[in-house]
A and B are shown apart, each in its own frame.
Chain A
Amino acid sequence: MTTPAISIRDVTMDYPTPDGVNHVLDGVSYDVAEGHFVSIVGPSGVGKTTLLRLLTGLATPTGGEIQVRGQRLTSSPEGLAVVLQDYTRSLMPWLTVEKNIALPLRNAKLSRTATRERVEESLAEVGLTGTGRSYPWQLSGGMQQRVSIARAIAVRPSILVMDEPFASVDAQTRFDLEDLVLKVRDDFGITTLMVTHDIDEAVYLSDEIVVLYGKPAVVRDIVKIDIPFPRSQMTTRNDHRFADLRTHVYGMVRGLE
């Protein structure tokens, strides 16, 4: 058996509160296979963002441990890129769009021309060619979110973590970005973890869906999405298997099954 990209082992997370502790996660275990696309779904407030914060090394679990390629996680792992839920606050208002995207590339030690090409390429991928000289606050919310996606793919990550990345874009852009994410995953073999509220989206994109449920939250179900790749917005979403899986996940998230 090969080492999983990410291994979540019996992870517990408590937040201290003025009146006792808030038990958020209770013994969550899950292995993410290298190159897989995994969605995390569950009701609002269940602890999805909390789990992502643990996976990115921003927080340390109260109990259990997280391993990345066999190494116990102590800080953000190498090759990580993120698209956070609060996208407006994750871009720097004093830098232009292209400089925002170029900033994390400093640590990759690319040449100046290589950096510029990488930035242009990433902007083109998210459909924002020509906006490089603008400041983030001059763009719409959806465009800002695409900038943070461009910044993430520009670093050629091996692990991509996204928290509701498409929540604020229109339906058409959303479909385009979903296909973009599938394409970069395919091109670069990125292990991707995504939190979403949109169950159709989770089914369309994922190899597996992890359903969190309860207070404290446990892994209620792991749903394998056995719809073959490549997938397409037109045909996949009309597949009867797609409908079955969606219904199943929906019931799980709602606590109906």
Chain B
Amino acid sequence: MPAIIRRTPAGVISTIVALLIWQFIGSFGPLAGDSFATATEAITALAGLLTDSVFWAAVGQTLHMAILGFIISIAVAVPLGLLIGLSRFSYRSSKFTFDFFKVIPPIVIIPIAILAIGPNITMGVVLVIFANVFAVAIQTAYGVRDTDPVLLETMRCYRFNVIQQVLHARLPSAAPQISVAIRLAASAALIVAVVAGLVGGAPGLGNLLMRYQSGGQVDKTYAVLLALGIFGILVSRLIVRAQRRIIFWTGR
């Protein structure tokens, strides 16, 4: 292998290859034409959007729904999961209900949400919360239940009370599971916030995407998709990095 390729990160190479294939299909393949933007067209359009206040307003609204919904879901789900996980009875009895809500795709409750709240930012926030709160709570509860019994017995011998056991054993034990749930929740928050605009009429990038598409602005439609992909990667990178710092004792 030539040295220049060996020294380039694998991600860069595969990205370049993917862009080349995209460009090729868009120029010569059966999809070539007005309804399909090539990589260069999309990137040019994205560059244009970066100076467009409409685009940034949409970014702001989507992030607003995603971040607020995400924060509320975590703030509710983690303490809730802790409580549920504390006793075998509450864990068993809640698991079924939570699993039931967990598998309902948030998109199917959009009709109900529009009726109840209307097509606005609040609806987007509620959808994000609905999408995440059950999964994070049940995962937290699972992590808490999964605490090593030997550790808990040691604490009981040293006469630690229940609150101390939660703070010093159950919560740190569950941290790896909670953090996986949080990582998934962050990605889901972004996706659901976009879907809320795409299908539910909430403002933001999803809505912008719809408008560009129905207005026949093909290059801008693709540019928004590109932007969403980049956002998604940034979010998950950020969270993985934070997790490695906080939960340093696993995966050794």
Partner-B contacts on A (CB < 8 A): 56-58, 75-76, 78, 80-82, 84, 86, 89-90, 92-94, 103-104, 106-107, 135, 137, 155, 161
A–B pairs, 26, beta carbons within 8 Å: A58-B153, A58-B157, A75-B156, A75-B159, A76-B156, A80-B157, A80-B158, A80-B159, A81-B157, A82-B154, A82-B157, A84-B153, A86-B150, A89-B150, A90-B150, A90-B151, A90-B153, A90-B154, A92-B151, A92-B172, A94-B172, A104-B158, A106-B164, A107-B160, A135-B249, A137-B249
B228 contacts the other chain (Cβ, under 8 Å)? no
Which residues of A are found within 8 Å of B160, using beta-carbon distances? 104, 107
Which residues of B are found within 8 Å of A82, using beta-carbon distances? 154, 157-158
Q: How many contacting A-B pairs (Cβ < 8 A)?
A: 55
Partner-A contacts on B (CB < 8 A): 148, 150-151, 153-154, 156-160, 164, 168-169, 172, 175, 248-250, 252
Q: Kindly report which residue of chain A lies nearest to residue B148, judged by CB atoms.
A: A89
The binding surface of chain B is classed by DSSP as helix
CB pair A76 B249 closer than 8 Å: no
CB pair A84 B172 closer than 8 Å: no
> Which 10 A-B pairs rank lowest in CB-CB distance, beginning with the nearest?
A89-B150, A104-B158, A93-B249, A90-B154, A82-B157, A94-B172, A86-B150, A94-B249, A76-B157, A89-B148
Which residues of B are found within 8 Å of A57, using beta-carbon distances? 156-157
Which residues of A are found within 8 Å of B169, using beta-carbon distances? 92
Task: Point out the residue from A81, A86, A89 that lies within 8 Å of B158, measured CB to CB.
Answer: A81
Which residues of A are found within 8 Å of B164, using beta-carbon distances? 106
Q: Kindly report which residue of chain A lies nearest to residue B156, judged by CB atoms.
A: A76
Which residues of B are found within 8 Å of A93, using beta-carbon distances? 249-250
